[in-house]
Amino acid sequence: MKAAGGLTAAVALGAAAAPTALAAPGLRVVQRDERDPRMWYYRFATDAIGWEPAVNVLLPDGYHGSGRRYPVLYLLHGGGHDQDFMTFDRLQIRRLTAGKPIIIVMPDGGHAGWYSNPVSSNTGPRNWETFHIGQLLPWIEQNFRTYAEYDGRAVAGFSMGGFGALKYAAKYFGHFASVSSHSGPASLRRDGGLVTHWANLSSAALDLGGGSIYGVPLWDEGRVTADNPCQRIESYRNKRVFLVAGTSPDPVNWFDTVNETQVLAGQREFRSLLHNAGIPHEFYEEPGGHFVREHLLVRDIDGAIARLRKA
């Protein structure tokens, strides 16, 4: 099945039959023992990414027989070798969304893709922004019963994915009515651009074979500005904004400490700018470090459903 930009979907179904819209000639089937009729698994062949990124689509209870349209939440994972399209499944997203009238889309974003098109890559194309916004989003709306409009979409994420959510919601203002960041950085220029340097370093090591997201040794300053939530404050007006940060990272774990300390400082800077601009936002500072807090993820999903168009 083709979509704009050379996107081809391959679906793995398990026991259930494919929705009619997906049963197209030439659709390549990838085997996976998925027996839950709510969860649909795909791999995409796309010219934006040099391998076949996966996507989980979690449907609401009764989707197959209801005939209704539903709002969509795009849920973005964090960075690291243990983070991928399965991250939120491992965090029990099926249980947490049982009975809730919303479609959850969980795409791959690379081990350190930063939800961006990098300045350079030595491992083939890694244009995650193009894949997510230019290809996956319209493909979802062509093949599932969604509301293809501003009030029909939310975006949220953890860590690197929290940054990605904030970035996508601002850079593509008309796409998402709700945005949420769970321990995601919100400032690219504070502390000498520590987060930007980390994006370059981590992407070079994990994804790009020495390439970089923003450029080394000199940044592409236009890209940094375009992606920096703290420099896009007006883009959050009239959106639901939900933020979570930890206040007491593990002092023995340097990675946890560095991550959440920078997250907390950046979110406080971001919140101050939102407050000064008169833009409402919901925020939580809780004990602990860099992880997804289940009760706040549930609160966030319920808040997104309340903000979006009803099924």
Domains along the chain with CATH numbers: 2-307 (3.40.50.1820)
Locate 30 and state its tokens.
């990838």
Contacts 24+ apart (CB under 8 A), 6-10: 6/46, 6/47, 6/48, 7/44, 7/45, 7/46, 7/48, 7/131, 7/135, 7/136, 7/139, 8/44, 8/45, 8/46, 9/42, 9/43, 9/44, 9/139, 9/143, 10/42, 10/43, 10/44, 10/45, 10/52
Is residue 21 pLDDT above 60, yes or no?
Answer: no
- Rounded Cα distance between 11 and 32, Å, is 9
User: Amino acid identity of 127?
Assistant: N
Among candidate residues 159, 178, 183, 203, the one labeled active-site is: 159
Query: How confident is residue 16, by pLDDT bands cut at 50, 70 and 90?
Result: very low
CA distances from 81 to 3, 157, 220 (A): 29, 17, 27
- Residue of 77, 111, 132, 290 marked active site: 290
99: part of which helix (H) or strand (E)?
none
- In whole angstroms, how far apart are CA 228 and each of 167, 170, 175, 232, 309? 7, 9, 18, 7, 28
Active site residue 159: yes
pLDDT for 28 equals: 41
The 10s digit of each residue's pLDDT in 57-101 is: 999 999 998 999 999 999 999 999 999 999 999 999 999 999 999
pLDDT of 2 reads 41
Check whether 181 has a pLDDT greater than 90.
Answer: yes
Q: Quick one: average pLDDT of 253-280?
A: 93
3-class secondary structure, 90: helix
Has residue 14 got a pLDDT over 60? no
* Closest among 289, 304, 264, 21 to 141, alpha carbons compared: 21
Which pLDDT value is given to residue 5? 55
* pTM for this predicted structure: 0.92
Is 151 catalytic? The answer is no
pLDDT recorded at residue 254: 78
For helices 190-206 and 254-276, angle between their N-to-C axes, nearest 10 degrees: 130
- The first and second tokens of residue 262, run together, are 């920078």
- Is residue 33 annotated as part of the catalytic site, yes or no? no
Question: How far is residue 245 CA from its own chain's centroid?
Answer: 17
CB atoms within 10 A of CB 217: 6
Q: How confident is the model at residue 29 (pLDDT cuts 50, 70, 90)?
A: very low
**CA dist 194 to 1, 81, 216, Å?**
41, 21, 14
